[in-house]
Amino acid sequence: MSVVRAAGCVVVLFFGAGCGILEEDKSVGEEEWVHGPVDLLFVMDGSSSMSDEAGTLLREAAGFFETLGDVQVAITTPSMVATDGWFNDAEGGETGLFIGTNPVVTGKGAAASHHFSETVACWGSCWDSYEMESNVSYAGTIGDCPFPDSNGDGGVDAQDRVTTQYLDCMCAGAEYPEGEDWDAVELCRSGNELHLESTLMALCRSAEEPPEICYHVGSPFEGSWIGSNQGWLRPDSTIMVVVVSDEGDQSETAVGGLQSGGDDDPQVYVDAFAEFGRPIVFSAIGPDLICESANDCYFQCNSGGASATGVRRLKKLAQKTGGVYRPISSEDCGIADPKGHYEALAELISER
């Protein structure tokens, strides 16, 4: 695997169900790493089909944040529809705008883990309270909301799941519109999944002087957006992007993206991101697409309406930038254990 090295990095991670580029997972040791600053962006699919996956990511977040060094984390979604939420103007999670009351997560350890989990649980996920488990014995207080422990043994088990009491605790301080809560339908992002275009808009919103590519044909970017994602992108950092989704990328010209329809080569976005003048590493956790040849691909597990072209696009982008692509599904087509995802990403960050 080729690795982009620099004093600082920006890492972009894409989560979804898919195959791995790495031949094997690398576990992370207990040592702290010495490396340049990393600005990490999660592009998380917030549609209704991703609620179980969001729950498993929340379950394992604490371990991930124990290992980080100088990393800043922000989250957006693949939605490029500014009217998806409560208002007609773009809200957090739309057109690259970061989600959360306090969007940028800094530091490591329990405080950073809680901040990240609160943002994912309260602003980046689609929940249905009618289908959610309840546990009246749940013990949590504002600012200290442990992930539900179904058998009370203090460990983390596969059967531990998000409950209404956990979300009530986690989201007690969230400032929703009057009468709304964490199960509001407006938090369920829909429509096309433009992972790469949303990433581009997130970077454009973060840059002090956005490059010309931000204003490409079909882009909604405008001058008033400059600085709307302030506080995340540092001048000496490496960018890392992680996409988490059960869909492939759909950033095509017909819907305002840069890709030609049917083209699985993401070079046009590689070139676009290069205009920000810094190393950028893309990873994805996505659909489990198996390809015997260029024209002989199939999904190992049911991935809904995922496009093989869009999934190959994400996999090739990870390969081109030295990132990883991991399946969102397990071998038995359940949900993959996110601990392995976090360990692979932590290893990637340690190499910056």
Place of tokens 């949900």: 335
- Containing 115, the helix (H) or strand (E) segment is helix 109-123
Q: Kindly report which listed range (30-39, 62-71, 93-102, 120-129) carries the lowest average pLDDT score.
A: 30-39
For residue 2, the tally of other CB atoms under 10 A from its CB is 8
Segment 146-173, tens digit of pLDDT: 998 776 655 566 677 899 999 999 999 8
- Containing 58, the helix (H) or strand (E) segment is helix 51-66
Whole-angstrom distance between the N-terminal and C-terminal Cα of the chain?
14
- Residue 123 has what DSSP assignment? H
**pTM for this entry:** 0.88
The helix, strand and coil proportions of the chain, stated in percent and rounded to the nearest 5, come to: 30, 15, 55
Confidence tier at 22 by pLDDT (50, 70, 90): very low
Question: For residues 93 and 76, is the Cβ–Cβ distance under 8 A?
Answer: yes
Question: For residues 123 and 99, is the Cβ–Cβ distance under 8 A?
Answer: yes
Beta carbons within 8 Å of 62's beta carbon, 6+ residues apart: 110, 113, 147
Q: Kindly report which listed range (113-122, 129-138, 148-157) carries the lowest average pLDDT score.
A: 148-157
Written as one letter, the residue type at 141 is T
- Residue 258 has what DSSP assignment? S
**pLDDT score at 260:** 94
16 has pLDDT over 80: no
Proportion of the chain above pLDDT 90, given as a percent: 54
Beta carbons within 8 Å of 214's beta carbon, 6+ residues apart: 200, 201, 204, 207, 221
* Residues 352, 279: Cα–Cα separation, whole Å: 10
Q: Decide: helix, strand or coil at residue 3.
A: coil
* CA-angle at 35, arms to 213 and 25, nearest 5°: 85
299 has pLDDT over 90: no
12, 59, 64: which is closest to 39 by C-alpha? 12
Taking the domains of the chain in order of start, what are their residue ranges? 9-350
